[in-house]
Amino acid sequence: MNTVPDRSRVRLPDLSSRAYEHPADRSALVALRKLTGFDVILRNLAGLFSDRSLRLMFLASSVRASEQQFPHLYQTMLDGAYVLDLPRVPELFITQDPRVNAMALGTDKPFIVITTGMVDLMDPEEIRFVIGHELGHVLSGHSVYRTMLFYLVGLAARLALVPFAWIGLKAVIWGLEEWFRKSELSSDRAGLLAGQDVPAARRALMKLAGGPQLAELSHDAFLEQAREYDAVPDVREGLLKLLQLIGTTHPFAVVRFAEIDRWASEGEYRDILAGNYPRRDSDRDASVGEEFKSAAKSYQDSWNRSADPLIGAVRGVAGSAVGAGERLMNRFNTRRDDDSDPNE
């Protein structure tokens, strides 16, 4: 059942991934992209071995979608790539696996893999959201930086017996895991832009948490569940929530649901559909300092919305830390501008 006719979807030509990326994700990506050549080196190294190995594995053991095989999924991916205006349409593989999963793999030539468990769970508009989510990972280039996380996790395991080295590396990994979780929120937004069907996005996220019995699920009740998770009764549960994030790369289901519900109801989503969004030709001019400020404001807004008592207890300290970070970034940008002044 198509709840949104194809003709009513708005195409987003030259869409920059900065349009939908969560501010914390966007600031990290802009900073990494400024490291000239870093992503190219990492992409080329991955492309030499791991990318080829992964693609060969799925080419041998899965079904590649086309006009002859899973044509409805193939067309859905083409539609999503058209709406988001991807420079290159990735390959799509369907793999026999009852687990519900979808992933974007590869760095040089990314491709998408969807399990039969996911296909069986979702209706056509919900799978459009899922595929759009993976296309968002491709357009943002998340695979390049996720590869770095996997390398660091492996290195941490080898350094586990070296206490100080392990502690320093673990701190970096925790930061990367936080970025990883925010990149998932970014791609949920991309999935919504690809399908432009808010109820389908909500249904998909509820099904990921509760399974296929849609008649047993309620948008309002699930949103209330998200509010209850946010507003735990005391600081101890707030601390437990924080500890449960260690080692996780995906936000919990109710968090994703609440985030996409809020983003869909705010002006940013409507502005993008109206054509008011950054284009790719402006990516090179993106400011690390401005993106850092945007990320800091995003965290502050999130803390101000939260009813979590632990966040309430540390809100002032966290706000001071963000302010100090902003001042440091401003000082760095000012010094960099002075150094580049041709009149000096």
Q: Is the pLDDT of residue 96 over 70?
A: yes
Predicted confidence at residue 298, as pLDDT, reads: 59
> Can you tell me the distance from the alpha carbon of 129 to that of 198, in angstroms, rounded to the nearest whole number?
9
Non-local (6+) Cβ contacts of 331 within 8 A are: none
Stretch (H or E) spanning 101: none
> Can you tell me the distance from the alpha carbon of 260 to that of 84, in angstroms, rounded to the nearest whole number?
18
DSSP label of 90: P
> Can you tell me the distance from the alpha carbon of 113 to that of 64, in angstroms, rounded to the nearest whole number?
9
Q: Is the pLDDT of residue 320 over 50?
A: no
Q: What angle do CA 341, 342, 344 make, to 5 degrees?
A: 75
The average pLDDT across 226-244 equals 72
pLDDT tens-digit profile of 112-146?
999 999 999 999 999 999 999 999 999 988 876 66
pLDDT tens-digit profile of 144-179?
666 665 565 665 556 555 565 555 566 666 767 777
Q: Are 108 and 180 a contacting pair, CB within 8 Å?
A: no
DSSP label of 34: T
Domain boundaries, the chain: 14-286
Average pLDDT, the chain: 78
- For residue 194, the number of C-alpha atoms closer than 13 Å in the C-beta half-sphere is 35
The average pLDDT across 42-50 equals 58
- 27 — pLDDT class (breaks 50, 70, 90): confident
Tokens of 105: 């793999």
> Can you tell me the distance from the alpha carbon of 212 to that of 76, in angstroms, rounded to the nearest whole number?
21
Predicted confidence at residue 227, as pLDDT, reads: 87
Stretch (H or E) spanning 128: helix 124-140
User: What percent of the chain shows pLDDT beyond 70?
Assistant: 63
